[in-house]
Copies of this chain bind each other. A is one copy, B any other.
Amino acid sequence: MASPLNPADQALADRLPPGVLRPVTPAYLEEPRARYQGQAGLVAAPRTTEEVAQIVRACGAARVGIVTRGGGTGLVAGQVMPDGPAPLVLSLERMTALRGIWPEENVLVAEAGMTLQAVRDAAEAQGRLFPLSLASQGTAAIGGCLSTNAGGVTALRYGTARALCLGVEAVLPDGSVVHDLKRLRKDNTGYDLRDLLIGAEGSLGIITAASLKLVLPPPNTGVAMLQVPSPEAALSLLALAERLMAGGVTAFELIGGEGLAFLAETLPEIRQPLPGAAWSVLIEVGLPQGLPADAALEELFEAALQQDLVTDGVIAQSGQQAATFWHLRENIPEANRRIGAVASHDISLPLSEIAGFIRDAGQALAARADVRVNCFGHLGDGNLHYNLFPAPGRHRAEYDDQRAALSLLVHEMAVARGGSFSAEHGVGRLKVAELERWGDPGRLQAMRAIKAALDPLGIMNPGAVLSQATG
């Protein structure tokens, strides 16, 4: 270690397994949106599940909080603890083994520190697909994907991370280990701890490994970008596609015109097949042998034209062209970053409420503030990234005093329609107040009871998901 430890950290360090400590470097204390600055008394990078358990027991004895860190790509500050006594940051960077792969079972067992991309690559090497797909997959760890129940662009077909996990190995707050890396599709033997740990954002235990579902890649895949006259039309197009394709729609992404404008402004090298479209969708299908994807997309396009659901469209004629469509979609967040958001919202809505929400929220915001709205996202899941940007020529800092009120407005309008203030990013520390405000009281009470039962000392990611006064 570069500098001497304070006595309390030194006492804890002496109880840790040998060789696990790492220097406390800035990389362990950051989150991508740079709103929170983390802190750490110690950083430990265990090599085995038993070392994780030893660290947890030592932290329990010392009453030191643990912030578990995978790839550090989370967007709600679950991976950084800015306030309170400095925690131990437990990094999973050394637990990156592929424990096994059973291609004939479509199962893979990965340690939690393996990146999502590495999991996908391991599956692909055996002719399989691990379908979870996120922009950050080169860095995001699979343990973090599970702890936050990550979503991404294929959840419409394959579900969120939760739906792709058969079982977990995890260390609980008392240092005990749950061994549940089953390779079974059905196992009704008691309470579903797996799904309790998935989405708990490290506040109930540390997922150290997971048994994951693989799928066979569909024989025929295709991608199209289709211009639609309105969000209503996009939803009707989705319904039409689902009716024709029998589960074959893999992704259905809504792209608002502001997103295309931001791309044109900040990343002009990205080719736009439908420049200026006020609303467009990117659709990917994966179909059986015997049904060419371009023919199926052509048929969809013709049927949609007849119903006035599309006004223009391009069907990718090659895998390369399909990749350029996806490249466009995946660079919208980067364009957003370059413009500089006033406020970002990861909301979900019942499908039949989406069009009304987009209309009403747009009007309400226009009446309140001089902002541009970039609304895009996973329409098939009802999941919108509804982000606000400065008017042309203005800077995000000029909106500092409006930001909270604008976010409250967006969240309130979503919740009033039966929606969620966090569709796929989680609660972390960013949305603890939102959960307390809009969470069902009965559900919150049960969450607090479970937290107190499993983590009576409150050492697991203190302050994440639930505020620390869990009485």
Please list the residues of chain A having a beta carbon within 8 angstroms of any beta carbon in chain B.
102, 104-107, 148-149, 151, 155-157, 159-160, 162-163, 172, 176-180, 182-193, 195-196, 198-200, 204, 215-216, 218-220, 235, 239, 242-248, 286-291, 295-296, 299, 348-352, 378, 380-383, 418-427, 431, 434-435, 438-447, 449-454, 465-466
Cross-chain pairs A/B with CB under 8 angstroms, 25 sampled: A104-B235, A104-B351, A148-B188, A156-B185, A157-B247, A160-B186, A176-B445, A178-B446, A179-B442, A184-B348, A184-B423, A186-B378, A189-B434, A189-B439, A190-B435, A191-B200, A191-B447, A191-B450, A193-B443, A196-B450, A216-B243, A247-B248, A290-B291, A290-B299, A450-B454
Q: A178-B446, A192-B198, A247-B286 are in contact. List 11 more A-B contacts (CB 8 A).
A: A155-B186, A183-B351, A185-B381, A189-B422, A189-B426, A190-B427, A192-B196, A192-B200, A196-B196, A248-B288, A453-B453
Q: Chain copies in the assembly?
A: 2
Q: Which residue of B lies closest to A290 (CB)?
A: B291
Chain B residue at minimum C-beta to C-beta distance from A243: B216
Chain B, residue nearest A187 (CB): B420
Inside 8 A of A160's CB, which chain B residues have their CB?
186
Shortest Cβ distance from residue A420 to the other chain B in the assembled complex, whole angstroms? 4
One of B187, B189, B219 near A244 (C-beta < 8 A)? B219
- Chain B residues lying within 8 Å of A381, measured Cβ to Cβ, are 185-186
| Known contacts A219-B243, A243-B219, A246-B220; A443/B180 CB under 8 A | yes
With A239-B104, A288-B248, A290-B299 known as contacts, the answer to whether A189 contacts B420 (CB < 8 A) is yes
- With contact pairs A184-B349, A216-B243 given, residues A196 and B191 touching in the complex (Cβ less than 8 Å): yes
Q: Which residues of B contact A162 (CB under 8 A)?
A: 192
Cβ A350 vs Cβ B107 within 8 A: yes
Q: In the complex the two chains form, what is the Cα distance from A215 to B199 in whole Å?
A: 25
Q: Are A190 and B443 within 8 A (Cβ)?
A: yes
**Given the contacts A191-B204, A243-B216, A443-B180, A424 and B288 also touching, CB distance less than 8 Å:** no
Q: Given the known A-B contacts A172-B446, A246-B219, A248-B288, are A190 and B350 also in contact in the complex, defined by CB atoms under 8 Å?
A: no
Residue ID in chain B nearest A248 by CB atoms: B288
A420/B450 in contact, CB under 8 A: no
Contact B439 A446 (CB under 8 A): no
Nearest B residue (CB) for A246 = B218
Q: A176-B445, A424-B186 are in contact. Are A286 and B454 (CB under 8 A)?
A: no
Considering only CB atoms, which chain B residue lies closest to A455 in the complex?
Answer: B449
Q: Which B residue's beta carbon lies closest to that of A189?
A: B422
Residues of chain B lying within 8 A (CB to CB) of residue A348: 184-187
B186 and A439 within 8 A (CB):
no
In the complex, what residue of chain B is closest to A444 when comparing beta carbons? B190
- Cross-chain contact of A443 among B179, B188, B295 (Cβ < 8 A): B179
CB pair A190–B465 under 8 Å, yes or no, is yes
Give the complex CA separation of A110 and B360 in angstroms. 30
Assess whether B183 is in contact with A442, with CB atoms less than 8 Å apart: no
Q: Report B-chain residues with C-beta under 8 Å of the C-beta of A435.
A: 189-190
- A190 CB contacts on chain B under 8 angstroms: 199, 427, 435, 439, 443-444, 447, 465-466
Instruction: Report the Cα distance A105→B353, complex, angstroms.
Output: 9
Give the residue name and chain of the B residue nearest to A192 (CB).
B195
- What's the Cα separation between A7 and B48 when bound, in Å? 59
Please state if A383 and B442 are interface contacts (CB–CB under 8 Å): no
Q: Which of B235, B244, B453 contacts A288 (CB 8 A)?
A: B244
Q: Which residues of B contact A450 (CB under 8 A)?
A: 191, 196, 450, 453-454
- Cross-chain contact B184 with A350 (CB below 8 angstroms): yes
- Given the contacts A245-B289, A248-B288, A299-B289, A425 and B195 also touching, CB distance less than 8 Å: no
